[in-house]
Amino acid sequence: MDRRFAAILAVLVTSFASAPSQAFDSAVLKSVVSVLPLWPGHEQGGQPGAPPGQEPEGSAVAIRAGGYLVTALHIVGRATAITVRLSDGRLREAELIGRDPATDLAVLKIDQDLPVPEFGPEPALGAPVCTVGNQFGLGLSVTCGVVSAVRRSGVGFNPIEDFIQTDAVVNPGASGGALVDEEGRLVGMLSAIFTKESDANIGVNFAVSTALVRRVAEDLITLKRVARSLPGFRLAELDAAARERLAGVRVVELLPGGAAERAGLQLGDVITALAGRPVRKVSGAMAAVHLTRPGETFALSIMRGGDAQTLTLTLPP
């Protein structure tokens, strides 16, 4: 075996081997629960009562003290009643506090205060991560892998997406579970998997970033809805010729008197970064916008006629 390859392999094995022991203290495990929704015309949780292609059960993770949990809306959206099973097996009735179809997120509340995991920063590519979820309704289990990509958008699951992609094994029932880094910090909520002919994991799995989870959950808890405002522009992908020179998205429409026009944007401008995030496609730009609250301000990096400029846009309150 090539010595350089052997050295790299040894580092990776050491990193992966250390991740679970560092990540999974009792607080992390106790912060995740199994979700047992009662769908109309079907049994509560477990197989074979689930509709084809849907999870028989799901998962949720504590997001705030006081029994607040965040989960995937597709788990509980049609439920007439919701029960959660704690990590120690006890059952608690859950109340659906709020839902956001645009991000497929929902907030539940139970009469049980659970440990809230520490929130971690956006993980680096290749960083070790582990999941905790109720895969196939068998109860909580742990799988580990690495971060394959960050800031994924336009995948096609939800209108607003800000995903962390991982190869850690994720299967039906894990939706709503936790994605944690090697220090046990929450970096995402499990949301979706790419499959071919079945629901089996093929290593392309997605977790909603904690930035978007917290943005949505905080509004659902305090307002019972997600407060959003429009930036006042419409964007389009660059054509192939333009992409030979730069990456970004083009401004093709401005709302008269809107926030974008007031910020100084003009038709034809190419946005290359928004709120500190490089922009490669329209879905990525809109994800960055929706991470910002009404009334908040963010920077726009643009190219206009070959010149780079920076503008400041404030979303309407």
Distance between CA atoms of residues 18 and 45, nearest Å: 34
| Owning domain of residue 127 | 1-224
Q: Label residue 205 by pLDDT band (50, 70, 90).
A: very high
Question: pLDDT value at position 24?
Answer: 56
Alpha-carbon gap, residue 227 to 231, rounded angstroms: 13
Cα separation, 95 vs 78, in Å, equals 13
Let me know the angle formed at the C-alpha of 216 by 215 and 221, rounded to the nearest 5 degrees: 105
Q: Which CATH number characterizes residue 281's domain? A: 2.30.42.10
Q: What is the mean pLDDT of residues 46-66?
A: 71
Pair (18, 123) in one structural domain: yes
**Three-state SS at 208:** strand
3-state secondary structure of 218: helix
Q: Are residues 101 and 215 in the same domain?
A: yes
Instruction: State the pLDDT confidence band at 43, using cuts at 50, 70 and 90.
Output: low
How many structural domains are present in the chain? 2
Nearest to 182 by CA among 18, 19, 29: 19
- Tokens coding 31: 């912060």
| Alpha carbon 254 to chain centroid, angstroms | 29
pLDDT digit string, tens, across residues 120-147: 999 999 999 999 999 988 899 999 999 9
Q: Enumerate the H helices of the chain as residue ranges.
A: 3-23, 26-30, 73-76, 210-223, 240-243, 259-263, 282-290
Domain end call among 224, 255, 286: 224
Position 117, amino acid: P
Q: Are residues 246 and 170 in the same domain?
A: no
Q: Are residues 246 and 278 in the same domain?
A: yes
| pLDDT exceeds cutoff 70 at 101 | yes
d(C-alpha 303, C-alpha 273), whole Å: 10
> How does pLDDT run across 144-156, given as a tens digit for each residue?
999 999 999 999 9
Residues 17 and 149 in one domain: yes
Q: Let me know whether 149 and 3 are in one domain.
A: yes
pLDDT at 25 over 70: no
Contact between 71 and 127 (Cβ < 8 Å): no
Q: How confident is the model at residue 104 (pLDDT cuts 50, 70, 90)?
A: very high
Same domain, 273 and 308: yes
pLDDT value, residue 42: 67
Indicate whether this model's pTM tops 0.85.
yes
Same domain, 88 and 17: yes
Q: What's the CATH number where 180 sits? A: 2.40.10.120
Do residues 84 and 138 share a domain? yes
Residue ending a domain, choose from 224, 245, 267: 224
Residues recognised as catalytic: 74, 104, 175
Dihedral sign, Cα of residue 210, residue 153, residue 130, residue 73? positive
Read off the DSSP letter of residue 279. -
Domain stops at, among 195, 224, 253 = 224
pLDDT in tens, 217-276: 999 999 999 999 999 999 999 999 999 999 999 999 999 999 999 999 999 999 999 999
Higher-pLDDT residue of 192 and 299 is: 299
Same domain, 58 and 154: yes
